[in-house]
Amino acid sequence: KLSTPLDFTVLGPSDVPAVQVQLLFQVQDGGGRMFMLMPQSALYPIRRKLERAQAAAPVSRDPHWTSRLKTGVGRSNVTLDAVLDGDNLTLGEIAALRPGQILPLRSGAKSLITLQSGEEPLFMCQAGHADGVFTLIVDSVVSEKDIFNSALTASQA
């Protein structure tokens, strides 16, 4: 693995708008993923080439169909999983687990818990307790920027 430490000071002040890009590439039998971060001002000279022609919005919409689509999507069942930050275990350690065994977590009482659907993180939550059951209190929405930043920090580790 080849990586270079990131020096964000080359982008200028921290309040300068920036563009983030992820490039997937393949060369012969190998490939990889590259992340780029550049100041938005670097794109000004070529912004006309980057513009997309906007398609005209359809004038006639079926309100009944639109209403039924919104209702159907709103009633869709989605499975959510709450993911705590725990230790990595080997397959042998997992096979040795027994009922009643206590697993220590790296998370503390104030640590955030990721609420996700499948592999897609949606919300960061805090653990709570109400009416004798454990609850999750939504703290924030997970944005694409958060995912990008966590991918950058994970690649540096």
Model pLDDT for residues 51-107, shown as the tens digit of each residue: 776 666 666 678 888 888 888 888 888 899 988 776 778 899 889 999 999 877 766
Please state the pTM of the whole predicted model: 0.45
The sign of the dihedral angle between the CA atoms of 37, 41, 42, 48 is positive
Cα–Cα distance list, 125 to 84, 102, 114 (Å): 10, 23, 6
Model pLDDT for residues 28-57, shown as the tens digit of each residue: 888 888 888 788 888 888 888 877 766 666
Q: Check residue 98 and give its pLDDT.
A: 92
Q: Check residue 99 and give its pLDDT.
A: 93
CA–CA separation, 104 and 106 (whole Å): 7
Cα–Cα distance list, 92 to 10, 13, 41 (Å): 46, 49, 53
pLDDT value at 27 more than 60: yes
Measured torsion, CA atoms of residues 141, 142, 145, 148, in degrees rounded to the nearest 10: 180
pLDDT value at 3 more than 60: yes
* Residue 113: band (very low, low, confident or very high) from pLDDT cuts 50, 70, 90: confident
Q: Check residue 95 and give its pLDDT.
A: 92
